Amino acid sequence: MNQPEEDHGQDVVKLGDQLKNADLDYKFAQLFTHSGGIFNYCANESEALQTLNQIIKIEGIKSLFCWDQDLVSFLDVINAPYTKELELFNDAAFITCEYLIAYDGRIMLSHNNILHYHSSRLPEKIILMANVSQIVTNLSDAMMRVKRRGTLKNLTSISGNQSKLGSPNQDNTKLFLLLLED
């Protein structure tokens, strides 16, 4: 019944097949942007701060949900308003992720990234900070790494076109990724 989503899934698979021999970071970036995400490569933290500040200004973000202490220090540098608990007035979230999945351009989240909140409760704008070393080949690779770590729970994934697995109605979510070189 839901034809466009099926077509989109087939498009991602086709593009993934075309990129099967590409570097993982290139493949991830292509599939992430193909599914509607906004990709920003940052060579260093200074560039990441500049990009973050631009996103906040351009998108008119007034209040971010951010509980990760490392990310809070970024927000403090650029004087961006944030709350450490998710509030109804937050118009964006600034979070980390577990893995970036090159196979389909999806991003794996856990309770470590979004606390105890369900991903469907996140604001319509999500800004993610990740490192190149978090890119994995596929979901199996990510799950194997999760299993080895043994501490992750409440796993979910998001992508640019269907950013929340639990709520397919919210198709106006904007997903920004700041990919930082390790």
Identify the structural domains of the chain with CATH numbers, from first to last. 3-180 (3.40.50.10420)
Of 49-58, 78-87, 145-154, the least confident: 145-154
For 73-116, write each residue's pLDDT tens digit. 999 999 999 999 999 999 999 999 999 999 999 999 998 899 88
Between 25 and 162, name the one with better pLDDT.
25
Between 166 and 71, name the one with better pLDDT.
71
- pLDDT at residue number 9: 59
Nearest to 113 by CA among 147, 156, 64: 156
Nearest to 11 by CA among 34, 38, 39, 36: 34
- pLDDT at residue number 14: 73
How far apart CA 44 and CA 152 sit, in angstroms, is: 28
β pairing state of 135-136 and 99-101: parallel
Give yes or no for residue 5 having a pLDDT over 80: no
- pLDDT at residue number 169: 44
Q: What percent of the chain is predicted at pLDDT more than 70?
A: 85
Q: How many CA atoms lie within 13 A of 4 on its CB side?
A: 5
Q: In which band, very low, low, confident or very high, does the pLDDT at 1 lie, cut at 50, 70 and 90?
A: very low
Give yes or no for residue 43 having a pLDDT over 80: yes
